[in-house]
Structure formats: C-alpha cells, structure tokens
Amino acid sequence: MEKKVKLVDFVKAEPFKAPDGYFDSLTETIMAKLPEPVREAPVTISLWQRAKPWVYMAAMFTGIYLMISIFTHNPGASRQEFVKTYASEGLDLTSSSEIDDFYRYYEDELAKMVYDDAFYATAYQEE
C-alpha cells in the first residue's frame, strides 16, 4: 500500500529559514550601506521669473485686442457719416462765397477719404 500525502503536511513544513537574529539588525545594516543624503541649497526664484507668465499673458491679450481692432476698423465709416451729415440736413447756402467754401471743404474731405481708402487698401493687401 502506498502512503497518502496530505496537503496539511506540506503547509507545516518550512523549507527556508533565516539565521537567528537576522531581522533584528537588518534595518541598521541597510542604513549603514546607504550613502549620506546630499542637501541641496534651495533654488531662489527671481521676480522676473515669477512675473514672466503674467507678462506674456498680458502681451498675448493685448496683441489679440489690437488684431481685432485693426481687422474690424471700417475706413468707410467716415464717408457714411459725412454723407449723412450733409445730405440729410439739406444745405441752406445763400451766397456764392458759402457755396465756394462748401465745395472747398467737400473737396478736402473727399481727398482725405480717397487717401484713407487707398492707404488702408494697400495695408490690407500687404498683410
């Protein structure tokens, strides 16, 4: 007859053993083998390094604001206001000097509007 092996017999058996007193001095042995910790000086952060992200963010928002204001600028608005002012009110010019003054003023304003249109048109084409 064969001898039956039970699982309980294997659980009780301890195949590996540590030497006596090994775990009592284990911590001291490991700590003695470790190198001494090196203490580094704390890093000082300058005022510019702290303010740099805020300055960059302010510059970014300023650039966005300027780009929006440039792209939404309407050079034809002055012409529309000019026509509204003089066409809707009806001119009451009685003397020839008043008429001459009006035409000189009108020519000057027209020249300014043509200049603005030409200047802004070339500025937008270059970009």
Where does the pLDDT of residue 4 fall: very low under 50, low under 70, confident under 90, or very high at 90 and above? confident
| Higher-pLDDT residue of 108, 65 | 65
What is the rounded distance in angstroms from the CA atom of residue 109 to the CA atom of residue 73?
A: 19
Phi-psi group of 42: left, alpha or beta (phi > 0 → left; psi -120 to 50 → alpha; rest → beta): beta
For 2, phi and psi rounded to 5 degrees?
A: -90, 150
Amino acid type, 100: D
In sequence order, the 6+-apart residues with CB closer than 8 A to the CB of 112 are: 78
Domain boundaries, the chain: 7-126
Report H helices in the chain: 7-12, 26-33, 47-71, 77-89, 96-126
CB 105 within 8 A of CB 91: no
Amino acid type, 94: T
pTM, full prediction: 0.33
Q: Give the pLDDT mean for 51-75.
A: 89
DSSP 81: H
